Amino acid sequence: MTHIAKGSATYRRTLLAMLLGSIVTFAVLYSPQTLLGQFSEEFGVSPSSASLVISVSTISLAVCMMFISAFSNAWGRKNIMVASLFATSALAILSSFVHSFQLLLALRLLLGISLSGFPAVAMTYLNEEIAPDSIGKAMGVYVGGTAIGGFVGRVIVSLLTDAFDWHAGLLTLGAFSLICSALFWLYLPQSRRFRPSGISLRIWAGGLKAGLADKRLLPLYAAGFLLLGGYVTLFNYIGYLLAKPPYGLSQSVIGCLFVFQLVGSWSSFFFGRMADRYSRAGLIAAGVVLSLLGAGLTLAGSLTLTIAGIVLFAFGFFAGHTVASGWVGKTAAPPYKAYASSLYLLFYYLGSSVLGTAGGSFLSAYGWPGVVGMIGVLLVLVAILAAALAGRRSSALRHAPAGRRQPR
């Protein structure tokens, strides 16, 4: 069966559906991010404790994705993603009715489990179905949807929290997600290149072992861990900065500032296409430099420069993540692509959980400069990994037979 060709009606439906799925997943996952200050005040918890609303979801998502990849081999890619999005929407609606921090954490834990079905399978679906010469752009659309979803979720919740309360915000977001989930179900084509297989723990364990044994993939897993850890740390706690002098912004204004994250969508599309033609290691390094500059600008004490910093930081992060995630699918051996994608996402979301929560301790101990310092260290480590990847590839090209050398 042939791949989905770029420019066809099926290709456009696929990209639209994946965009909708990304929006639902990341709107629900990160919508409470602008509310962490409210949770600290309403429930009497520290910034690190409030951030658990995000972290418990991302850590359960990361762990469950490891198992979902095995089930998707038996149950089908689309079936898993559709079930994930509908369950997520239902739990988002249910979470709007709670009045206990502990119960909210419990529902967010369940949300992480339901959310895991979409990102665990989406990258594999794209790598299986889309023509290889178009996978960079398709991955850019998928990753771009994460930026749009993060923005939509934060803005809906922030505006309705100021107008009513955070319960109304989460309820409205859940209803919006339900509509998008139905459209995803209608638009996404059934897999044409997928061949179902039984659920075998031996095969599953062997696939994960192969994904971990491939030394070409380990730096990419580490890069994903560090990239999302730094990204979530900045956006978890920047609301604390902006709500206090000299800014003193309201919840609605803070939420609307996340509109500047939408540059991440354009960054994903742009760098996704660039990755099909240029050095991936170089593109990751470029993203790191932009993010470092952006993080530094948030220290200036000026709202204009802080906004510019948010723009640069988001642009750089989505550039690095788009290139790294697409590189995993290109590098992994065909029988293990699903396992490699799952491992990348495991480390990616573990970075969000572990480093995102740790950032609260830096905020409490050292203020905003401590948070920026932590993020800077993480990004420098990503740059070191990118340099190592570039050196390894150059060495491989020098030792490869002339007829097998690739342009990138």
pLDDT tens for each residue of 345-394: 889 989 988 998 899 999 999 999 999 999 999 999 999 998 888 776 55
Q: Collapsing DSSP states into helix, strand and coil, what is residue 130?
A: strand
Task: Report, as an integer, the average pLDDT of 252-273.
Answer: 77
* Cα 180 from Cα 151, distance rounded (Å): 15
> Where residue 196 falls among pLDDT bands split at 50, 70, 90?
low
Q: Which residue has the higher pLDDT, 177 or 197?
A: 177
pLDDT for position 199: 64
* Cα 291 from Cα 57, distance rounded (Å): 25
Contact between residue 66 and residue 346 where contact means Cβ atoms under 8 Å apart: yes
Q: Please, which residues have CB within 8 angstroms of residue 290's CB and are 6 or more apart in sequence? A: 312, 313, 315, 316, 319
Residue 1 has pLDDT above 80, yes or no: no
pLDDT for position 234: 94
Task: Report, as an integer, the average pLDDT of 20-44.
Answer: 90
Q: Please, which residues have CB within 8 angstroms of residue 387's CB and are 6 or more apart in sequence? A: 281, 285
pLDDT for position 106: 97
Q: Collapsing DSSP states into helix, strand and coil, what is residue 4?
A: strand
Nearest to 137 by CA among 231, 15, 259: 15
Distance of CA 64 to the CA centre of its chain: 15
Domain segments of the chain: what residues? 9-190+201-396
Sign of the CA dihedral with 64 first, then 154, 327, and 329 last: positive
User: Where is mean pLDDT largest: 120-124, 249-253, 272-276, 355-359?
Assistant: 355-359
Looking at residue 41, its amino acid is: E
Contact between residue 358 and residue 59 where contact means Cβ atoms under 8 Å apart: no
Contact between residue 372 and residue 364 where contact means Cβ atoms under 8 Å apart: no
Reported as a single tens digit per residue, the pLDDT across 201-244 is 777 788 888 888 888 899 999 999 999 999 999 988 998 899 88
Number of H helices, E strands in the chain: 16, 0
- 93-97, 237-241, 251-255, range with the lowest pLDDT: 251-255
The CATH code belonging to domain 9-190+201-396 is: 1.20.1250.20
Task: Report, as an integer, the average pLDDT of 308-337.
Answer: 86
* Cα 151 from Cα 167, distance rounded (Å): 18
User: Where is mean pLDDT largest: 132-136, 178-182, 269-273, 310-314?
Assistant: 178-182
**Average pLDDT of every residue of the chain:** 86
* Cα 101 from Cα 105, distance rounded (Å): 6
> Where residue 278 falls among pLDDT bands split at 50, 70, 90?
confident
pLDDT for position 139: 75
Helical segments of 244-336, H only: 251-257, 263-275, 280-297, 303-331
* Cα 147 from Cα 27, distance rounded (Å): 9
CA separation, residue 43 to residues 80, 95, 303 (Å): 35, 16, 29
Structural Rg of the chain based on CA atoms = 20
* Cα 240 from Cα 153, distance rounded (Å): 18
pLDDT for position 304: 93
Task: Report, as an integer, the average pLDDT of 148-172.
Answer: 90
Q: Which residue has the higher pLDDT, 195 or 55?
A: 55
Residue 81 phi, psi (nearest 5): -65, -40
